[in-house]
Amino acid sequence: MTALSTEEQAVVDTVRTFVDREVRPVVRELEHSDTYPEALVERMKELGVFGLAVPEPWGEAPVSMPCYAQVTAELARGWMSLAGAMGGHTVVAKLLVAFGTRAQQDRWLPAMATGEVRATMALTEPGGGSDLQAMRTVARRDGGQWVVDGAKTWITNSRRSQLIALLCRTDPDAQPRHRGVSVLLVEHGPGLTVSKDLPKLGYKGVESCELVFDGFRAPADAVLGGEEGRGFAQMMTGLETGRIQVAARAVGVAQAAFDDALRYAQERESFGRPIWQHQSVGNLLADMATSLTAARQLVLYAAERYETGRRCDLEAGMAKLFASETAMRVALDAIRVHGGHGYSTEFDVERYFRDAPLMIVGEGTNEIQRDVIARQLVARGGLG
Ligand SMILES: Cc1cc2nc3c(=O)[nH]c(=O)nc-3n(C[C@H](O)[C@H](O)[C@H](O)COP(=O)(O)OP(=O)(O)OC[C@H]3O[C@@H](n4cnc5c(N)ncnc54)[C@H](O)[C@@H]3O)c2cc1C
């Protein structure tokens, strides 16, 4: 595993200190009141977190994917919702860098680097998120503009994001269907309604919403890269980043759950000794630490593969699958270690247990990840 450069390690350390000093002391209150973390997001802007994927000349401090994954894990260790506030944003920044026209890059990336403009991506529809090619949101040409009709759901940060990367059909008759899909870069305006904030098990504080497009008009140059029909392939590339990000979030949540369990197991006593000395509890801690370490290595492996510029959907899929299932199991085991306190909202472990399932479902469910992994194994002739 390659070590981070001194500069990148300093970025991770800065975020770690921010999490310990400024996030962990306030997270329980924000979580239980479901409050948008305005002040923490402002601090993330100051720390440059929203610009981590934006290179010169639009930004200042782009970092490697392994560094980005570690920053994400640190944020999620404090509060998974904070990592969520910059997840879709980074995917959109990377899409713009990789595929945007120069005009699109100049327009959006400088303000995205500072966090003044925040971005989200809108893929999922009420009819389904796994089968993206069956999407029904359509953009039709009308004079010099696009007219969009349809609905998206579960779109995180969409009320507060100024830029939405909208996956939609620009040629509903195209065969194969993915050739008729484009990404439109759209802003809030007439014809776009944020119709509902969806109530959630966890992932509190940040909003996940339904969006309705009804005769919404976007300019002709809103198509990412300027050429229609490339959106599906563009978004699949973006999802490699998204899946590494979600996997890193899972590592952060699992780390927090393990840390709390290890501490509690040394403080709590039963039968005259700290509970970690009971073999069953010690075994839980050993297994938690082992899977957490394996998950972290898998995420860094995927991040390093990404950095080589080669296709990494197999690696990102494996990282997302394993890290999210690990986070779920470690969060449950942290509850076991805490006994009754683990079920109390006065402790943090119940939050990890509510946050962990999102990483199993989001950014392509784990069933879909297995499908991606199996297809790639066959296509590559094995692990290679
Ligand atoms: C809190 C939250 C935030 C989200 N944020 C965003 C966001 O910002 N932007 C966005 O676009 N989306 C977002 N999503 C949506 C998320 O990506 C989808 O929920 C996810 O992709 C699954 O889609 P679905 O819910 O429609 O499930 P479905 O596609 O209906 O799947 C239902 C079940 O069927 C299984 N299934 C479906 N097809 C197959 C198959 N071919 N093989 C095996 N199993 C299959 C699935 O694995 C799942 O178990 C968010 C979701 C949540 C819960």
Question: What pLDDT, on a 0 to 100 scale, did the predictor assign at position 1?
Answer: 56
Query: Could you tell me the distance, in angstroms and rounded to a whole number, from the CA of residue 25 to the centre of ligand 1?
Result: 33
- Chosen domain end from 88, 103, 118: 118
Domains held by the chain: number: 3
When pLDDT is cut at 50, 70 and 90, the band that residue 91 belongs to is: very high
**Domain C-terminal end among 102, 118, 134:** 118
pLDDT at 284 over 60: yes
- Does 123 sit in the ligand 1 pocket, CB within 6 Å? yes
CA atoms within 13 A on the CB side of 360: 12
pLDDT higher than 60, residue 374? yes
How many whole angstroms separate alpha carbon 265 and alpha carbon 103? Answer: 56
Kindly report, residue by residue over 224-258, the tens digit of the pLDDT: 999 999 999 999 999 999 999 999 999 999 999 99
Q: Has 363 been annotated as catalytic? A: yes
Q: To the nearest whole percent, how much of the chain has pLDDT over 90?
A: 98
CB of 121 within 6 A of ligand 1: the answer is yes
**SS (HEC) of 109-145:** HHHHHHCCCCEEEECCECCECCCHHHCCCEEEEECCE
Q: Of 321, 262, 326, which is closest to residue 292 (Cα–Cα)?
A: 326
- Domain span including residue 192: 121-229
User: SS3 for 189-231, per residue?
Assistant: CCCEEEEEECCCCCCCCCCEEEEEEEEEEEEHHHEHHHCCCCH
Q: What is the pLDDT of residue 61?
A: 76
Mean pLDDT to the nearest integer, 271-292: 98
Over the chain, what is the mean pLDDT?
A: 97
Q: Please state, for a pLDDT cut of 70, what percent of the chain lies above it.
A: 99
Residue 1 lies in a domain: no
CA distance 324 to 71: 17
Q: pLDDT tens for residues 160-198?
A: 999 999 999 999 999 999 999 999 999 999 999 999 999
Both 26 and 40 in a single domain?
yes
pTM equals 0.98
**Cα–ligand 1 centroid distance for 242 (angstroms):** 14
Ligand 1 contact, 242 CB (< 6 A): no
Q: Which atom from ligand 1 is nearest to the alpha carbon of 208?
A: 3
Indicate the pairing of strand 163-169 with strand 119-122: parallel
Regarding whether 15 and 99 lie in a shared domain, the answer is yes
142-150 average pLDDT score: 96
Rounded CA gap, 331 and 351, in Å? 9
Pocket of ligand 1, candidates 130, 186, 196, 211: which has the most ligand atoms within 8 Å of its Cβ, to mutate? Answer: 130
CATH of the domain at 261: 1.20.140.10
Can you tell me the mean pLDDT for 64-77?
98
Last residue of a domain, one of 118, 138, 172: 118
